[in-house]
Amino acid sequence: MQQFNVGENIIHPQHGLGTIKEIRETSILGQTETVYVITTRKMELQIPVPKARALGVRPVATPEQAENMLKILRSPAKEEPFTASEGWYERYEELKQRIKQGEPEDLAEIVRDLDKNSKVYELNIKEREILNQAKDLIIQELTASLVTSKSKISEKVEDALKANLKKRAPR
């Protein structure tokens, strides 16, 4: 059932890049559980091993997946921008769910589409929150995957998004 090893880098959908510090037995509500102890830049988490995948914990993207994420950021947005009055709460919930599932390609699409929308209308506070969270997750993941500095990855992400603005999606 164990999927990760001590010392392995992982991605947690809410907390970003982390490292498996240890795998240990602990008591949770009177029952013994095997947990991953994960350190992130802000905290230490304990996640039951059997629930890790369901909670969106996954391996860091491979270099090929990382390059694909950058390619998605450079590609045209798939949809017309939403307006502030068009079901923003439902869209927010959908985006939150996609982040929780944590697929690298989904994160790239979320950042690409919200970044484009931010150039067309002012994002509401929840959309800005999602954009910032997803962009931070991408930067953390690309930094680990491509073994490059955060500043260089941030520049690559911004350059990719600028390239995206120059393209139009096929109709």
CA distance 49 to 36: 6
Residue 80: predicted pLDDT = 61
The model's pLDDT over 60-84, given as tens digits with 9 standing for 90+, comes to 999 999 999 999 999 987 766 555 5
CA distance 133 to 140: 11
CA distance 4 to 49: 9
Strand duo 44-48 + 31-40: pairing: antiparallel
Residue 171: predicted pLDDT = 46
The model's pLDDT over 77-133, given as tens digits with 9 standing for 90+, comes to 776 655 555 677 888 888 888 888 878 999 999 999 999 888 888 888 988 999 999
What structural domains does the chain harbor? 9-55 (2.40.10.170), 60-165 (1.20.58.1290)
Among all chains, which residue has been given the structure tokens 């091993």? 49
Q: What is the pTM of this model?
A: 0.85
Residue 82: predicted pLDDT = 58
pLDDT over 80 at 1, yes or no: no
